[in-house]
Structure 1
């Protein structure tokens, strides 16, 4: 009974860590832009968000750390990738976006006179107060904040299912819907800090008296529970967006869309409910990810940088960045995620077959080929006048997976080269 209770509490906390700003605004946008075909985009979204998260958590838990997974591509390469991901997770992108989203969707619609700078200071002061004791983070979120979040979300979603806003738009361009969903899934940035998240979850179980082996098993079960919660909530939010597809189009700002949907469904009460949902979703994510990032950099520097000092730095830096606004933060994140997400994904997937793929050269070949393809994709998307049309003609480009074939080829070349080197050494 104790194990079940602990799995539920930590699973709820993990759900809240993963369900933040982007998780609220992207699913409805998928529904609006996909109309009657929303399920196709939604499946792409699930693959790029929940799918990657679950695979990553299982892989990292079994390996013992995220570094063990990514260092197969080279120790320096793996370390650099992990540091970049943790910086994005913390002060550069994800944590600042939580405050910006809360302000634009919770505060501004109700209290238009509130100064965004003052709000961001208050938001991260609260984050600081609730994050400064790392061993209590999971319990604070799982026992108190997540239930409030889930109840308020359920009210909004159930109302939207029972009284749909309108009919689903059937006049939708069906090209690249799955790819559209994948790109939106990338934007949630849910899998960026899996290494740190797993470390936090496992330390939470260890603090409850479980041994290492049991903690790994319980971490995976908590992750599956969190994944079920994410899928249920995502489905509801995406469907709400689809029911509004005859009213709005892709030009509507993503934060404005959910505000409008809430107002249509529940009037002024909808604004209040959405304000609570957004505030708790973003606050729990801000608390959890600030703790995760701080713990990571404390560990990686062998405690030369103290956890408490890193928490303070992240909160101060995030206060500044959050005032750029959600749309600006998203625009900055797109090229970064397009580069690092596929590399992380291919290494996680390959780690499941580590007994078969037992040469580091295979991982290096696949990782470098994926990185090169992703970099060329970003350059092409930025329209810098450089003709790289071929990058969009690679297999699976329409699915947003143009890096898959280069990764396979790179891994195969790595295998061939390493085998040849071994043969040459044997001859000598």
Structure 2
């Protein structure tokens, strides 16, 4: 399937074009983090897997796709965030792109891929043993990891340097390949389940499964990734021949629905896979263990290769999407360095961090993400609600309230973990949503302030 500008009719790409762009968008979103959360949810939720999965879909699928639509309606992420203020827009977007880009998410695509491929490359060399043996094993792993990272980022950069080809390749090749691999993995569990769901739900799933699932989806951080992917998808739609801004927004929304439907189907399948592994891996620490064990039980040694292929394709897709979209943003924000230069710089920094210092950076990058994510949700709601652009003052108050609460919590977690804060007494704070009530109150107060100001201006005009 080849997409070209000749296929544009009535300002749209048509069903086939919308499907291809939707699959490409799905591929950009669906990385290692998306793979490993739903299976672990399935294991831990046990008999409560359905409400837990529904909660997960709301935040893991609904929020990112809604953000894509909100950005498409506004034109760009900057245009949406500029309603709060140009300075806020620039700082927020740069921090978000750095956090989900070269400082965290992009290096993790290579390091996670290597961890899944390592057994195929090194075999028993990755084993444990004495401290001396562990040090020797670490040294033995360092060179293969470096070579793997160099090859991984060289391939990703080669594709990212030709952004017009990204949607076509992901929509036609790597996206369908990922979906096909996942179908094989889940189908084996459907045909011959390895185990049964746990008799009782674990952790927070035992008391509030839907809320616990929502929080897990919240931790995928795909809403912030939407800020980046919305740029490259909109640009790709424009390059494919949809030039009218309104038509671009509608086309991105249609493709977003395709991507959301695919994500929802895959998440449900992976959640089911995890649930049927409950009695087999009740103590699993993460979803990667669940997926790997399931594949090994069904396919033996070939299962290890299947798992590695799924993770490699997923991580590669996300890496290419992030390098391209973040490089495109910085080339427009700081035009003295062209897109090619930014893409190369992002790939090089990511390659270095994938091999050294990533653990310490994770400790600071994750709190930054958790500070930004609630503000991203606030911006998404602002972009979706009709007429919100006419009430920028009210949304500034709401954003300020959300930002103060989320930033205070993030700074506490980064610098003084365990410190008690007054914000901890807020409703929903115990499940990581303490910013919700302040945000709502801030919006109400902002509207009241706007109404009072307009009332004073109206009285002044009548006296004049």
User: 1:415 corresponds to which residue?
Assistant: 447
Counterpart selection for 1:286 from 316, 319, 326: 319
TM-score, normalised to structure 2, is: 0.85
Counterpart selection for 1:199 from 228, 231, 235: 231
CA positional deviation for 1:327: 7.4
Residues 182 and 399 in structure 1, CA contact (< 8 A), matched pair in contact too: no
Residues 83 and 389 in structure 2, CA contact (< 8 A), matched pair in contact too: no
Counterpart selection for 1:29 from 13, 32, 40: 40
User: 1:346 corresponds to which residue?
Assistant: 378
- Which stretches in structure 2 are left out of the alignment for 5+ residues? 1-6, 8-12, 126-140
CA distance 1:176–1:331, shift in 2 (3 Å): farther
CA positional deviation for 1:220: 1.0
CA positional deviation for 1:424: 4.8
- Which stretches in structure 1 are left out of the alignment for 5+ residues? none
Residues 15 and 229 in structure 1, CA contact (< 8 A), matched pair in contact too: yes
**Alpha-carbon distance in 2 for matches of 1:418, 1:124:** 50
Residues 103 and 365 in structure 2, CA contact (< 8 A), matched pair in contact too: no
CA positional deviation for 1:339: 1.1
**Alpha-carbon distance in 2 for matches of 1:109, 1:183:** 34
CA distance 1:131–1:379, shift in 2 (3 Å): closer
Residues 38 and 287 in structure 2, CA contact (< 8 A), matched pair in contact too: no
SS at match of 2:242: coil
TM-score, normalised to structure 1, is: 0.92
CA distance 1:39–1:282, shift in 2 (3 Å): same
Question: Are positions 1:314 and 2:325 aligned together?
Answer: no
Query: Which of these two proteins has the greater Rg computed from alpha carbons?
Result: 2
Question: Are positions 1:386 and 2:419 aligned together?
Answer: yes
The one-character-per-residue Cα deviations of 1:62-117 (angstroms, maximum 9, x if unpaired) are 11111122222222112211111111221011111111111112333553455212
User: 1:119 corresponds to which residue?
Assistant: 148
Stretches of 4+ moved more than 6 A in 1? 325-329
Counterpart selection for 1:165 from 168, 187, 194: 194
CA positional deviation for 1:330: 5.8
The one-character-per-residue Cα deviations of 1:190-225 (angstroms, maximum 9, x if unpaired) are 221323322222222222222323222221111111
CA distance 1:350–1:160, shift in 2 (3 Å): same
The one-character-per-residue Cα deviations of 1:38-69 (angstroms, maximum 9, x if unpaired) are 22332232222211111111111111111122
Question: Are positions 1:84 and 2:95 aligned together?
Answer: yes
User: 2:133 corresponds to which residue?
Assistant: none
User: 2:128 corresponds to which residue?
Assistant: none
**Alpha-carbon distance in 2 for matches of 1:377, 1:263:** 41
SS at match of 1:347: helix
**Alpha-carbon distance in 2 for matches of 1:187, 1:374:** 14
**Alpha-carbon distance in 1 for matches of 2:193, 2:361:** 32
SS at match of 2:387: coil
**Alpha-carbon distance in 2 for matches of 1:234, 1:326:** 28
**Alpha-carbon distance in 2 for matches of 1:324, 1:127:** 20
Question: Are positions 1:104 and 2:136 aligned together?
Answer: no
User: 1:376 corresponds to which residue?
Assistant: 408
Residues 56 and 348 in structure 1, CA contact (< 8 A), matched pair in contact too: yes
The one-character-per-residue Cα deviations of 1:364-392 (angstroms, maximum 9, x if unpaired) are 1111111112123335656645322x534
CA positional deviation for 1:249: 4.1
CA distance 1:129–1:376, shift in 2 (3 Å): same
CA distance 1:46–1:400, shift in 2 (3 Å): farther
Output aligned runs, 1:129-144, within 5 Å. Answer: 129-144=158-173
**Alpha-carbon distance in 2 for matches of 1:282, 1:43:** 25
**Alpha-carbon distance in 1 for matches of 2:409, 2:427:** 13
**Alpha-carbon distance in 2 for matches of 1:34, 1:324:** 36
**Alpha-carbon distance in 1 for matches of 2:321, 2:171:** 11
Residues 100 and 325 in structure 1, CA contact (< 8 A), matched pair in contact too: no
